[in-house]
Amino acid sequence: MNFTKSSYGEMLLNNRILAIIFLFLVTVGMSYGAKNLYFDNDYRAFFGKTNPQLEAFERLQKTYTKIDNVQFAVEPDPGSDASSVQILAAIEELTELAWQIPYSLRVDSISNYQHTEVDEDDLLVEDLYGYAEELTEQELKDIRAIITTEPSIIGRIHDPAHRSTAVTATVQLPGKDPMEVVEVVEAARVLKETIERNHEVTLRLGGIALFNNAFLEASENDMMTLMPAMYIVILIVTYLLIRSIYATAVVVLIIVPSITVAMGFGGWIGVGLTPPSASAPTVITTLAVADSIHFLVTMFQRMNAGHSQRDSIIYSLSVNGKPIFLTSITTAVGFLSLNFSDSPPFHDLGNITAAGVMAAWLFSIMLLPILMSFVTVKPKETLGALNKCMAIIGEFISSKYKAVLLVSMLVSVLITAAITRNEINDDFLKYFDEDITFRSDTDWISQNLTGLNQIQFDMQSKMPNGISEPQFLNKLETFSNWARNHEVVTNVQSITDVFKRLNKDLNGGDEQFYKIPESRELSAQYLLLYELSLPFGLDLNNQIDIDKSSTQVIVTIDDLTTNQIKAWIKEAETFLESELGMDAVAAGPTVMFSYIAERNIEGMLWGTLYAVLIISGIILIALKDVRLGLLSLVPNLLPAALAFGVWGLFVGQVNMAVAVVTGMALGVIVDDSVHFLTKYQLARKNEKLSAERAVVSAFSGVGTALLVTTIILVAGFAILAQSSFGLNSAMASLTAIALFMALVADLTILPALLILLDRKMNKSNAQENVVTA
């Protein structure tokens, strides 16, 4: 045997202990970084530091009080309603106890709503009610009248039809420790239990704190359920394929350190785990197993042909060394393209996975051969039938290449046409599955109490104390009324309601005065009087800035798609600009999520382009053939388009995660065409076969391996598609479809194109020969 080309394999097997020590040091050194990992459970993590919507929102949050909150919504028992004495009592106790929630700044409910009343020259500002059980019928009637009409209450903390009522605790997290959110949520859950025990009510929890916590729970959920499922699939498929328990165990020994090295790498570069980056281990498992499969299949094939185990290992290394390296590099490049995304969690996913893929490469070409050399395994013929099947398909395709091309083009055109049926919708609350309590609770709240989308407008008078100016207040009033006229708007929180109420109260309760005060001095002095009368925590700092030059109007909107919300925002901003001459821009989480997909797609267009260029460049260098390299673009780029088409046909709604799919999937997809084309080239050049025969040879040579690795990859991403986090599942579903499409394209369009191209070349060559003759 001549092993000149496989001297690496020889060298490796002769220095097993040294290699193992080296790998051990690398693994421990890298994995040690995992100590730096933490869960980043702040939805703001999804926005880059320079995201303009995030900047606008942060500015707003610094000017006014933050809107991070916990919402306790009361679900009355059937037959009772949210204004019953029992529920009023429950709300009263809950309001009192909610002040104990860690980091709470204020608590709002109907019980501590600051009701104003006037008795001659006395202005009384106090809680709407106290001691609910002792309220008289008349008092109850008065309370009900207020909670069904007061604009700052209805559609925000109380449903005018009494379907629900809520206590909202605003929290200001110091942001020093990711566990702060967990602390708040745990306190809220304990409080919920206490109230449910003391009163006959059911509480549902919503709000930003719960939203943030849901990220953490989704990540944990995924890690608990998806990873084990992934391992089971890998073990079953690998075993069915190679029928060796030892080899299957070795595959696991390759995957595990690949993951720990990758996660450790994430720790070293300071990643905070979010559901996308927490899914990296699942993705790495899927990708890492392919390298091992290629190596083991070749090794067993060689052993079946009668070679020794050691020779087969060395042979497999020499044959697979280059393609495994190439496919690992292209996969890593594809994942690195995620750095062009506007959303940092996808950078993390890309970087961790790229590191994992390269670690898997290292372990596959070093640890795997060494581990296989320690134990004697028996080869088993298992895939003979499949190999034969592949050869038959190859024959069929090469004989009917024109028809195959025609049909596949037709189908492709039809499917890709459906891409336009996709509508972008980043309804961020729907990122979570119905089986996460947060989702079902917020769904209920949005149906029975208030919309979940809050849009904040920073209304600036541009002069100190300018908010008392009647002209400015009238503009605010016009805008608030305009907003309230939209059916989708459930509540508008505007300081003008306070001014109107005070004006009426200080004019003896005369309804005629329920309007903006006539002079700036009146407004300013009313405000001073009112502020002096407010209790702890219920001040106006959440609505007015310190020099009283600006105020925020908060519009609450029903469940809408991203496009509808964007349209509404545009309409509102245009109204402010053209009708009122104000340049206030919308801000808040809803606004941020509404624009994230757009920004993500923009960034990923470049990312995908770079990935295509670099990956194509790698293929060109590897194949050393410009024509084949260009041809490979078709089966490499078409699958993503087809996947989006299929998605458009069957689902139709996409979120920001889809933007990253093309670049990411490309790195994985090219593996198939690289393997196929390498084999085709080999058949043409070394064995001097015709294009048709070379296609058949490629089919029988790598068809089975392609089918099996694709099955594993599709299974892996299909498992990830079960994630309870919408961004992960959308990304994984699309990738799984794209990978399947890639296999189909590589086994139909690619061979058909190869033959067609060959015919064309022959023809033009023949013509040239005629001319020169």
Instruction: Please state, as a whole number, how many other Cβ atoms lie within 10 Å of the Cβ of residue 374.
Output: 9
Q: Give the nearer residue to other proteins in terms of CB position, either 304 or 507.
A: 507
Q: Nearest distance from residue 548's CB to other proteins, in Å?
A: 7
Q: Nearest distance from residue 102's CB to other proteins, in Å?
A: 7
The binder of other proteins chosen from 36, 194, 478, 525 (CB under 8 A)? 525
The binder of other proteins chosen from 146, 227, 524, 609 (CB under 8 A)? 524
440 lies in the site for other proteins, by CB under 8 A? no
Q: Nearest distance from residue 62's CB to other proteins, in Å?
A: 5
Q: Give the nearer residue to other proteins in terms of CB position, either 142 or 220.
A: 142
The binder of other proteins chosen from 134, 200, 510, 521 (CB under 8 A)? 521
The binder of other proteins chosen from 49, 119, 581, 624 (CB under 8 A)? 119
773 lies in the site for other proteins, by CB under 8 A? no
Q: Give the nearer residue to other proteins in terms of CB position, either 10 or 93.
A: 93
The binder of other proteins chosen from 177, 531, 571, 687 (CB under 8 A)? 531
- Please give the Cα distance from 712 to 671 (Å, whole number): 14
523 lies in the site for other proteins, by CB under 8 A? yes
- Please give the Cα distance from 505 to 486 (Å, whole number): 29
Q: Nearest distance from residue 68's CB to other proteins, in Å?
A: 12
Q: Give the nearer residue to other proteins in terms of CB position, either 479 or 526.
A: 526
The binder of other proteins chosen from 183, 220, 443, 545 (CB under 8 A)? 545
Three-class DSSP category at 701: helix
Q: Nearest distance from residue 476's CB to other proteins, in Å?
A: 17
The binder of other proteins chosen from 522, 641, 707, 711 (CB under 8 A)? 522
The binder of other proteins chosen from 144, 430, 486, 520 (CB under 8 A)? 520
Q: What are phi and psi of 71, to 5 degrees?
A: -115, 125
Greatest pairwise CA separation for the chain in angstroms: 117
121 lies in the site for other proteins, by CB under 8 A? yes
Q: Helices 626-650 and 661-685: crossing angle, nearest 10°?
A: 140
The binder of other proteins chosen from 232, 406, 546, 766 (CB under 8 A)? 546
459 lies in the site for other proteins, by CB under 8 A? no
Residue 488 near residue 567 (C-beta atoms within 8 A): no
Residue 337 near residue 604 (C-beta atoms within 8 A): yes
Cα–Cα distance list, 90 to 71, 154, 647 (Å): 14, 19, 47
534 lies in the site for other proteins, by CB under 8 A? yes
**Among the residue ranges 94-102, 152-160, 280-288, 712-720, the one whose residues contact other proteins (CB under 8 A):** 94-102
Q: Give the nearer residue to other proteins in terms of CB position, either 101 or 280.
A: 101
Query: What is the chain's alpha carbon radius of gyration, rounded to the nearest angstrom?
Result: 33
Report angle CA 656, 660, 662 to the nearest 5 degrees: 125
Helices (H), 624-690: 626-650, 661-685
What residue has token string 């995620």? 338
What is the DSSP code (8-state) at residue 569?
A: H
182 lies in the site for other proteins, by CB under 8 A? no
Q: Are strands 453-460 and 586-587 parallel, antiparallel or unpaired?
A: antiparallel
The binder of other proteins chosen from 440, 541, 561, 564 (CB under 8 A)? 541
- Please give the Cα distance from 606 to 613 (Å, whole number): 11
Residue 93 near residue 200 (C-beta atoms within 8 A): no
- The residues in 235-254 that bind other proteins, with binding defined as CB under 8 A, are none
- The residues in 667-686 that bind other proteins, with binding defined as CB under 8 A, are none
- Closest by CA position to 359, among listed 267, 431, 268, 287: 287
For 173-195, the DSSP string reads: --SS-THHHHHHHHHHHHHHHHH
Cα–Cα distance list, 717 to 46, 223, 254, 415, 728 (Å): 22, 14, 19, 21, 10
What does the per-residue mask of binding to other proteins show for 361-380, with x meaning CB under 8 A? --------------------
What does the per-residue mask of binding to other proteins show for 64-83, with x meaning CB under 8 A? -x------------------
Q: Which two tokens stand for residue 145?
A: 């009248």
- The residues in 122-161 that bind other proteins, with binding defined as CB under 8 A, are 122-126
Beta-carbon contacts of residue 638 (< 8 Å; ≥ 6 apart): 412, 741, 745, 749
What does the per-residue mask of binding to other proteins show for 98-117, with x meaning CB under 8 A? -xxxxxxx------------
Q: What are phi and psi of 74, to 5 degrees?
A: -90, 130
Instruction: Please state, as a whole number, how many other Cβ atoms lie within 10 Å of the Cβ of residue 392.
Output: 12
**Among the residue ranges 24-32, 400-408, 446-454, 461-469, the one whose residues contact other proteins (CB under 8 A):** 461-469
Residue 718 near residue 732 (C-beta atoms within 8 A): yes
Count, residues near other proteins per rule CB under 8 A: 48
Q: Which two tokens stand for residue 80?
A: 């009772």
Q: Are strands 122-127 and 489-493 parallel, antiparallel or unpaired?
A: unpaired
Q: Give the nearer residue to other proteins in terms of CB position, either 503 or 697.
A: 503
Q: Which residues bind other proteins (CB under 8 A)?
A: 62-63, 65, 99-105, 119, 121-126, 172, 464-465, 468, 506, 519-526, 528-529, 531-541, 544-548
